[in-house]
Each structure stands twice: as structure tokens, then as C-alpha cells.
A and B are shown apart, each in its own frame.
Chain A
Amino acid sequence: LAKTTQPISMDSYEGQEVNITCSHNNIATNDYITWYQQFPSQGPRFIIQGYKTKVTNEVASLFIPADRKSSTLSLPRVSLSDTAVYYCLVGEHMIKAAGNKLTFGGGTRVLVKP
């Protein structure tokens, strides 16, 4: 299982871009990178998933360098409602191969200020 390391917390201001980097030095060939967002008193919500290069959806972008030892979640022009905990997960893409190895780490607490 690829261990992940994320900053514990980050502060930002409304309208700014927030970039959260996750380190996963021992990522395996079949591992994908997935990010979730969790608001207080709610379950996590899927944001984005990728394997290499760049993935973009209506919410965020995910940048993965060629060596795949890290990834960066980019949230464009954040608002107060983006205040949440963001989790980086790295694991086997085929779910039965992932088994009980898919775990959420401590996440990054992002606080967006007015």
C-alpha cells in the first residue's frame, strides 16, 4: 500500500487557487490516485481520480508528474464553502485487488477565509 503524506492544514482566501500536494513515493504501477472532500458532519465526497498527467473536471484539477511520486489537487477560485478536509488516497484500481488496503489518511484541513 502506497503511504501518503499531506499537509495537515492550509489557509486560503476567497477567490484564490488552492493547491494541495500529496506525496506517495512508493506508488505501485497499478495504483490510481483519488481525492475526496469532507465537510463537517458529512460523509466524504469524491472529487477526482487520475493515473498520470492531468485530469480536470468541473470541480478541480489533478496534476500527476511523470514519476507519479506525488500529485497535486488544484481548486480554482475557492469560496467559503470549500472549507473542508481533503483526503488523498492511493491504491490498486481493481477493487478486489485493493481489498482492505484502501485507507484514508488524516487529510488536509483547508480553511477559506473571507
Chain B
Amino acid sequence: DAEITQSPRHKITETGRQVTLACHQTWNHNNMFWYRQDLGHGLRLIHYSYGVQDTNKGEVSDGYSVSRSNTEDLPLTLESAASSQTSVYFCASSEGTAYNEQFFGPGTRLTVL
């Protein structure tokens, strides 16, 4: 069955380190998204991509970057982790040009000490 996976599921890192969170989907969806979820804030969009080589900034993109070299993967990189980036990160994908349902991964819980 097609799916969307995230790795690692849990990560503890130190302030200033570079961290990359992986997202892989097997639906062949063009659209992929990264969100972060913090208590009291719902989900906030970090970056998104409509296809290979396309990336766009979301609402809270400072300190994060993404690259899209193939359809299946959209890794999220924290260039220099900060304690404010402690959060749960969700990756999602969707198909088509209309806002169709997004399929979410299981999430990565990141702690920055």
C-alpha cells in the first residue's frame, strides 16, 4: 500500500547542530508539505513543494530549508537548531492542482537541548 513515512520518529539534538528530518511518500504525489505543531498553535506551515525542484516558504520558514530532488522525498533541514524549534513535525502530501486532501505522516518529535 502507498504510504508516507517520516524518520526519525524521535530525535534529541543540541543547540547549534544541523538536523535533517526525512519524509518519503510512495503515492507519487506532486505536492508535499512540512508543518510544525506546538501546544496552542495547531499546525503551522513551514515549507511546501508543488513538484521536483520547486520549493516555497510557508508561514514559519525562518531557520528551516527544504530541497526536492525527486517526487518521493522532501527532507527538512534545520541549519542550526534552536530550542524554539523543539516541536512535533509533520510531513504531508497531496495530488493534483486543487486543494485535495493531504495525507499526513506519523510525525517526528524533535527536542533541541
Q: Which residues of A contact B (CB under 8 A)?
A: 32, 34, 41-46, 49, 87, 91-96, 98-100, 102-107
Expressed in whole angstroms, the minimum distance between the Cβ of B99 and any Cβ of chain A is 5
Interface contact tally, CB-CB below 8 A? 66
Q: Taking A42-B107, A43-B104 as contacts, is the C-beta distance between A98 and B42 under 8 angstroms?
A: no
Chain B positions 69 through 113: 1 when the CB is less than 8 Å from some CB of chain A, otherwise 0? 000000000000000000000101010111111111111000000
Q: Which residues of B contact A45 (CB under 8 A)?
A: 104
Give every chain B residue within 8 A of A105 (Cβ-Cβ).
Answer: 42
* Chain A residues within 8 Å of B90, by CB: 43-44
The reply to whether A103 and B102 form a contact with Cβ atoms under 8 Å apart is: no
From A104, A106, A107, residue with most partner B Cβ within 10 Å: A104
**B: interface residue count bin:** 20 to 34
Q: Closest chain B residue to A85 by CB distance?
A: B42
Helix, strand, loop or mixed for chain A's interface? mixed
- Is the Cβ of B99 less than 8 Å from the Cβ of A100? no
Determine if B44 is an interface residue (Cβ-Cβ < 8 Å): yes
Chain A residues near B48: list those with CB within 8 A.
Answer: 100
User: CA of A87 to CA of B48 in the docked complex: distance in angstroms?
Assistant: 20
Q: Is the CB of B50 within 8 A of A87?
A: no
Given A42-B106, A43-B90, A100-B56: A91 touches B41 (CB 8 Å cut-off): no
C-alpha spacing A99/B103, complex, angstroms: 17
Complex alpha-carbon distance, A99 and B101, angstroms: 15
The answer, among B45, B58, B98, B106, for a CB contact under 8 Å with A95, is B98
Say yes or no for B11: interface residue by CB 8 A criterion: no
